[in-house]
């Protein structure tokens, strides 16, 4: 999760284009919400997640300007009590779609909020639909081995430079889990259209 720019010689770094999934989860939340209030929770305020959070907000507003986005940096990946409280507090304000990227703490929050009627979540890192069947709209999938492979290929081909390389949807580092019939056909089409525009660069998701 680096922002190291490289030394312009031989030392570089690889990272996710996190703004892509930030924007897309925001867009999806805005498509899905019935209360016009959505939320995003992440474990820490690292630069990569600050970018993700900012793009979540941008995706929400670009998709439906009337939707209000609430976001929170937990500063923990393991404090299940804190994560659950933050998530439930958001739901208490009317948030009905919540994107949760917070590892162990996030799993607890996901399980808690999906017990509330009408609340859905977007999971992270792997397909979390089994944690709350019918309540997990989708999950952001991350392929870290493929991220490393992309760097290895650049090195093998002699094209590695001392800079920061970012990979995402186009390179299949990111993907989304199946919707498991949580979206209507029109909602799914709307999301896929936005996803394609982000992947091809028609929608700018730079920080």
pLDDT in tens, 125-156: 999 999 999 999 999 998 777 767 767 777 77
Where helices occur in the chain by DSSP H, the ranges are: 18-32, 47-63, 80-92, 103-113, 144-156, 185-200
- The DSSP-derived string for 57-90 is HHHHHHH-TT-EEEEEE-S-SS-HHHHHHHHHHH
Asked whether the predicted pLDDT for residue 207 surpasses 80, the reply is yes
Return the higher-pLDDT residue of 4 and 140: 140
Angle formed at CA 118 by CA 192 and CA 115, multiple of 5 degrees: 115
CATH architecture of 13-198: 3-Layer(aba) Sandwich (3.40)
Joined together, the tokens standing for residue 30 give 């805005």
The string of pLDDT tens digits covering residues 68-122 is 999 999 999 999 999 999 999 999 999 999 999 999 999 999 999 999 999 999 9
Joined together, the tokens standing for residue 95 give 């948030």
- Report domain extents, the chain: 13-198
């Amino acid at each position: 999760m680096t922002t190291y720019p490289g030394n312009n010689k031989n030392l570089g770094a690889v990272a996710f284009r996190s703004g892509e999934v930030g924007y897309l989860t925001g867009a999806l939340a805005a498509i899905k919400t019935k209360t016009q209030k959505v939320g995003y929770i992440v474990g820490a305020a690292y630069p990569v997640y600050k970018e993700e959070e900012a793009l979540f907000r941008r995706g929400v507003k670009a998709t439906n300007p009337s939707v209000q986005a609430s976001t929170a940096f937990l500063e923990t990946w393991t404090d299940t009590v804190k994560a659950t409280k933050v998530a439930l507090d958001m739901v208490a304000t009317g948030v009905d779609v919540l994107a949760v990227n917070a590892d162990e703490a996030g799993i607890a929050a996901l399980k808690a909020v999906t017990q509330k009627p009408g609340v859905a979540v977007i999971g992270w890192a792997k397909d979390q639909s089994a944690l709350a069947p019918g309540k997990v709209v989708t999950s952001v999938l991350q392929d870290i081995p493929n991220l490393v492979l992309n760097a290895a290929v650049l090195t093998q081909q002699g094209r590695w430079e001392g800079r920061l390389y970012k990979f995402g949807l186009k390179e299949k580092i990111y993907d989304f889990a199946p919707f498991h019939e949580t979206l209507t056909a029109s909602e799914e089409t709307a999301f896929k259209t936005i996803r394609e525009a982000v992947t091809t660069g028609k929608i700018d998701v730079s920080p």
